[in-house]
Structure 1
Amino acid sequence: MTIMKIRGIQKSFDEKQILKNAELDIKKDSRIGLVGNNGAGKTTLANIINGSLTPDQGRIETFNRSLNIGYLKQSTEYAIHELGDRYSLTDGNLFQLSSRLGLNKEIDLANPDWGKLSGGEKLKISLAGVWASKPELLILDEPTNHLDLQGVEWLIDELKIFKGAVIIISHDRYFLDRTVTEIIEIEDGATSLYKGNYTSYRKEKERLYEIQLHQYEIQQKHKQQIEQQMANLKNWSEKAHRDSTKQGSASERRQIGYKEYHRMKAKKMDNQIKSKMKRLNQELEKNEVKQPKEEAKVRFEFQDGRKKGKRILEARKLSKSFGSRCLFKESHFYMNHGERMALLGKNGSGKSTLIKILIGEEKTTSGEVWVSETLKIGYLSQDVSDLPPNKTALEYTGLSNRESIGRARTIFANMGLKEEKLIVPLSHLSLGERTRVKLVMMLLAEIDLLILDEPTNHLDLASRESLEKTLLNFHGSILVVSHDVYFQEKISDKILWIDNGKISRKEFGMKELNSQNSLPNPENKDKTEELMVLQNEINATIGRLSFMSKDEPGYEQLDKLLSELLKKKRELQ
């Protein structure tokens, strides 16, 4: 049963057309993945479907006047501000859903302090609020960006039994493969439908690309042959025209019809040229195969960090509390130049707060943090709403030197931000595009320590993979908070772990952690830490499954392993 029909949707912002012809049908049990590059118009289309944005042209037909739509927006800040107006925060159902998502029970949902909540905690409250409204159509815009594994697995399980329709905007390959049955791709403002999950979509997309490329190459060869024939005919025609005007000798002039013969010959060739050109244009107009568009390849480039002494920062007896809520206490750790550390901990454990302490935005409750005076830190926060909305990307760089502006334009282009994106206000850019602008600011500087808080949030897949490669070539130090398991495995060689109110340094990275069955004694004796290790094994298995299709050798074995790990985790809990 179709609950909504969307036809010919067009939408422009400041003469820039985002959607040119968006069309899709939403059925009662649809599981739709909405994909496309950053800025393609995914969130714009979601807002139009939700009714919060009016299209310039096109129509939306709903077959239920009271269709209840639940919309989880991409930015938790927007969702949180709307939550109190739309949902009852004291609803017992909301408490129950929040708990199942793994939300910290110390949070007072009736009167929460939003400023003290982590991105993951805000998202869980927003998601619980949307779910509690019992929607018939659920729109989820990047729902896994701040969710830990417990929240992701809960969401996957709930979507399996959810009776309504679901539209998911996500760059999480594993999540899409587990949740959707069809993909709607937005490219150049138009929509295309692909049946199956994300892996099936990628395979079909590649197959269609190869077919179109082959047909295009055949057509180009045929076009070149016709053009060569016309070039030959044109040369012969010009020669015939020249011969028709020759005076010749007296005896030649006596030959009847000499000039007329060459004149008719030239005219015939001219007609042949016109006829071939007409047939070619008709053929191209009717059956033209356009050159297939290659996927954008994003390149990141950092300037090499300046060499420093071995130790760049150190914390001694570090403690931090907010009122009666203690995040961590009496903690000691350090970081050396060139190390790439993964900052791990559950949602609400204090990861973002620790980062703010390191960059000087938050004070310690007790203890101290020493940071080298010459250390230059670049910080990418998970919130992109702090950019000046009325400035353009070029204005935001603050550059005035012609050479520096030229380099900035090159980096913007390498990151997939075209010239027209650089001259519009930042508020007109998508969240993914704003994240790229922030990254450019870091690329332009000589950074010694990169602190990245969920750097892959809002980035499309090409950008994520390119960023991984670049960070591996970065010569400075890196501290990363990310729920992207595969990203952390590639990047980290050390771990900074927040657990049970303590921050501890581990002399191995995520890859080594996930390859171990358990941590060395005596840490393995602690049940909480054992659960953390088990969860990271689950994360690693999910990361590997996300790059495999169901028919690949080993997929079934890994899927079985994941089920066993989840069962073991439930038993331990």
Structure 2
Amino acid sequence: MAIMKIRGIQKSFNEKQVIQKAEFDIKQDSRIGLVGSNGSGKTTLANIINGEIPADNGTIEMFNGTVKIGYLKQSTEQSVHEYEDAYTLAENGLFHHSSQLGLTKEADLFNEDWNNLSGGEKLKLSLARVWASRPELLILDEPTNHLDLQGVEWLIEELKAFKGAIVIISHDRYFLDKIVTEIIEIEDGITRSFTGNYSAYRLEKERLYQVQLHQYELQQKHKQQIHQQMANLKNWSDKAHRDSTKQGSASERRQIGYKEYHRVKAKKMDNQIKSKMKRLNQELEKNEIKQPKEESRVRFEFQETRKRGKRIIEAASLSKCFGQRCLFDESHFYMNHGEKMGLIGQNGSGKTTMMKILLGQEKASSGDVWLSESLKIGYLSQDVTDLPAEKTAIEYTGLTDREAIGRARTIFANIGLNEEKLTVPIGQLSLGERTRVKLVMMLLEELDLLILDEPTNHLDLASRESLEKTLLDFVGSILVVSHDVYFLEKISEKLLVIENGKITRKEFGMREYNEANTRKNRDKEKAEQMMVLQNEINAIIGRLSYMTKDEPGYNELDQKLAELYRKKRELA
């Protein structure tokens, strides 16, 4: 049953039409992924559905006239105190939800200084607030941004158990694959519905593209054939017109109707040309197949890195504490030139602090970190609000040489920022567009090590996939923090893992790490099941030891014991 029917929604800002025609239903149990490139209108549509901004045209019909909506926005700049009274939220289970996300009431919920919380902690509190409001429809705009892997897995399980409808705006392919059963794509301001998760949507999009491309090519060949026939007729017609005006020889002039014959012939051919053109135009008007729009291929390019020594980073007995709280202690690890490493750990484990130590922005409490003297580092932070809002992207590069500016403009175009975007202040760009500006600044330099903090945040799906390919081709070193499971699995060859107060180097990537964790969890679950079975077996054996075979209930207990032994053998 549809709880919301969205019909003919249109929205423009100034003279730019962002949404041309949005139409789809949200059912009681919908699991919808809302996808599209940066700036395609996803967040605008979410704000219209939530009633925050009006549509220019179109209607939204709600079941029983109203639907309670819980809306998690992409930005989490406001404190939980400014949304609702914290004690009211507590009654609705906010403490339970926040604790599931790894937050505590004392440390986080009533923290007077919201600015002291990390992006992940702010997002988790906002998630808990939305959850506690008991919505019928959840709208989540990039809900996995800043969540660690544990938080993402928790959110997946909670959303699977949620009884209402869900609309998710996300560029996290792993997350979409696990949750959604329908994709609503916004392209050129028009929505289009696909059944299945994100991977199924990508396959169907590629199939439709190939089908349309084949049909378009067939129609183009047909048009070429018709045009060639018309060109031939035109040549013959021109010749007939010329022949109809010729004076001819004396004998030809004596032939009655010479000119008339060629005049009629020319007219007949002219009519054939007009008829073929008319039929072609009618056919195209009725069944014209447009050339399929090829997805924008975002191209990232890095300057060739200079040769470096093998080892570029080495840490010995590294510790970092804030007062009595130690993030990591007595840690030893290293990084070689050309290695692509993922830095993973739960929120608050010290990933950002570790990156700051490498960048020289933070000092270790004890121990040493050695960096190669000639090492040139590029750092991409997850905060896109630190760019100068009043400057344009070109001004921000600081380039003055014409050739260098030309190269920068080419990279901006390749990364999906057209000339129009380069002439407006950065403050008017979307979060994804600002991330791209930051990336361009790195692309303009010769770098040996890229330290990337959530590099896929705010990037659309096409940009994420393109960035993966480019980073795989990058011959320098990469240290990346990301919640994007697919991205980390593609990029990481080695890992630095922060857990139990230690940083350890792993000689395998994210895929192997996840597989090992899955096996570990299965073994743990198996051991727990085995313990439960053994306890039941011991209990029954104890009861049978006090009974004789002819006592009532003996056979029933004996059969139950045999069944438990069978289950134990299967589990083993």
The residue type paired with residue 162 of structure 2 is F
Paired with 1:82 and 1:59, the residues of 2 have a C-alpha distance of: 33
Distance 1:356 1:183 in 2: 39
1:317 and 1:366 in contact (8 A); partners too: yes
Q: State the distance in 1 between where 2:186 and 2:418 align.
A: 18
1:130 is aligned to 130
Give 1:108-187 correspondences, 5 Å limit: 108-111=108-111, 113-187=113-187
Worse-matched range after superposition: 389-398 or 242-251: 389-398
Alignment of 1:177-326 (within 5 A): 177-326=177-326
Q: Which residue of structure 2 lines up, in the alignment, with residue 84 of structure 1?
A: 81
Q: Could you give the per-residue CA deviations for residues 393-428 of structure 1, whole angstroms, max 9, x where no partner exists? A: 223222222211222222223323333333333334
Which amino acid in 2 is paired with 1:352? Answer: T
Structure 2 unaligned regions, length at least 5: 532-572
Q: How many residue pairs were aligned?
A: 527
Equivalent-residue separation in structure 2 for 1:104 and 1:314 (angstroms): 35
Counterparts in 2 of 1:304 and 1:164: CA distance versus 1, 3 Å: same
Cross-structure match for 1:346: 346
Amino acid at match of 1:98: S
Aligned-pair CA distance for 1:42: 1.4
Deviation at 1:355, TM superposition (A): 1.3
| Aligned mates of 1:299, 1:371 — CA distance in 2 | 31
Contact 1:341/1:494 (<8 A) preserved: yes
Which secondary structure does the structure 1 equivalent of 2:76 belong to? helix
Instruction: Evaluate the alpha carbon distance shift between residue 108 and residue 456 of structure 1 in structure 2; reply closer, same or farther with a 3 A threshold.
Output: closer
Q: Which residue of 2 aligns with 1:19?
A: 19
Cα offsets for 1:197-230 (capped at 9, x unmatched): 3233233323322322222122112111111111
Q: Which runs of 5+ in 1 are unaligned?
A: 518-533, 539-561
Q: 1:495 to 1:211 in 2, by over 3 A?
A: closer
Bigger mean CA deviation after superposition, 255-264 or 113-122: 113-122
Deviation at 1:349, TM superposition (A): 0.5
Alignment correspondent of 2:44: 44
Give the C-alpha shift of residue 196 in structure 1: 2.6
How has the CA–CA distance of structure 1 residues 18 and 73 changed in structure 2, closer, same or farther, with 3 Å as cutoff? same
TM-score (norm 1): 0.84
Shift of 1:112: 5.3
Contact 2:150 2:346 in 1 (8 A): no
Q: Which one-letter code corresponds to 1:6 in the other structure?
A: I
CA contact (8 A) 1:40 1:188 kept: yes
Quote the residue 1:552 is aligned against: none
Give the deviation of 1:269 after TM superposition. Answer: 1.6
Which residue identity lines up with residue 374 of structure 1 in the other structure? S
Shift of 1:80: 4.2
Aligned CA distance change for structure 1 residues 116 and 368 (closer, same or farther; 3 Å):
farther
Alignment match, 1:542: none
Which 10-residue stretch deviates more, 502-511 or 384-393? 502-511
CA drift at 1:5:
2.6
What is the aligned partner in structure 2 of residue 543 from structure 1?
none
Measured in 2, the distance between the counterparts of 1:296 and 1:193 equals 20
Q: 1:357 to 1:489 in 2, by over 3 A?
A: same
Distance 1:570 1:358 in 2: 42
Structure 1 position 377, deviation (Å): 1.4
Task: Compute the displacement of 1:323 (Å).
Answer: 4.7
Question: Residue 117 of structure 1 contacts residue 348 of structure 1 at CA under 8 Å; is this kept in 2?
Answer: no
Relative distance call for 1:512 and 1:156 in structure 2 (3 A) is closer
Matches of 1:12 and 1:397, distance apart in 2? 31
Name the residue aligned to 2:468.
Answer: 468
Greater alpha carbon shift after TM alignment, 490-499 vs 290-299: 490-499
Match of 2:540 in 1: none
Judging changes above 3 Å, is the alpha-carbon distance between structure 1 residues 327 and 87 closer, same or farther for their aligned structure 2 residues? Answer: farther
- Whether the 8 Å CA contact 1:80–1:126 is kept in 2: the answer is no
Q: Which residue of 2 aligns with 1:485?
A: 485
Residues 415, 569 of structure 1: alpha-carbon distance in 2 compared, 3 angstrom cutoff? farther
TM-score by length of 2: 0.84
C-alpha distance in 2 between matches for 1:117 and 1:569: 38
Whether 1:377 aligns to 2:377 is: yes
Deviation, 1:65, is 4.8
- Does the Cα contact within 8 Å between 2:173 and 2:486 map onto a contact in 1? no
**By how many angstroms is 1:328 displaced?**
2.6
Contact 2:108 2:117 in 1 (8 A): no
Change (3 A) 1:193 1:485: closer
Contact 1:413 1:419 in 2 (8 A): yes
1:253 is displaced (CA, Å) by 2.0
Amino acid at match of 2:204: E
Residues 47-99 of structure 1 show CA distances to partners (whole Å, capped at 9, x for unaligned) of: 2222223334333333455532211122xxx3241632223334332111011
Larger Rg: 2
Question: Conserved in 2, the CA contact under 8 Å of 1:104 and 1:348?
Answer: no
Deviation at 1:332, TM superposition (A): 4.2
Match of 2:98 in 1: 98
**Partner Cα distance (2:501, 2:216) in 1:** 61
1:393/1:22 CA distance change after superposition, 3 Å: farther
Change (3 A) 1:494 1:222: closer
In structure 2, the CA distance between the partners of 1:333 and 1:154, relative to structure 1 (3 Å rule), is closer
Matched-pair contact (CA < 8 Å) for 1:118–1:352: no
The root-mean-square deviation of aligned C-alpha atoms, in Å, is: 2.8
1:405-455 CA-to-partner distances (Å, cap 9, x unmatched) read: 222222223323333333333334333332222111111111121101122
Secondary structure at the counterpart of residue 52 of structure 2: coil
Distance 2:48 2:103 in 1: 31
CA distance in 2, matches of 1:466, 1:73: 26
User: Identity of paired residues, percent?
Assistant: 74
Q: CA deviation at 1:109?
A: 0.9
Secondary structure at 1:456 match in 2: coil
Q: Secondary structure at the match of 2:329?
A: strand
Contact 2:174–2:485 (CA under 8 A) maintained in structure 1: no
Aligned partners of 1:24, 1:567: CA distance in 2, in Å?
42
Could you tell me whether the CA contact under 8 Å between 1:380 and 1:455 is conserved in 2? yes
Other-structure match for 1:7: 7
How much has 1:387 moved relative to structure 2? 2.3
1:335 counterpart = 2:335: yes
Shift of 1:144: 2.1
The 1:565–1:143 alpha-carbon spacing in structure 2 relative to 1, beyond 3 Å, is farther
Alpha-carbon distance change, 385 to 477 in structure 1, aligned in 2, over 3 angstroms: same
Which residue number corresponds to residue 60 of structure 1?
60
Letter of the aligned partner of 2:433 in structure 1? E
Amino acid at match of 2:175: F
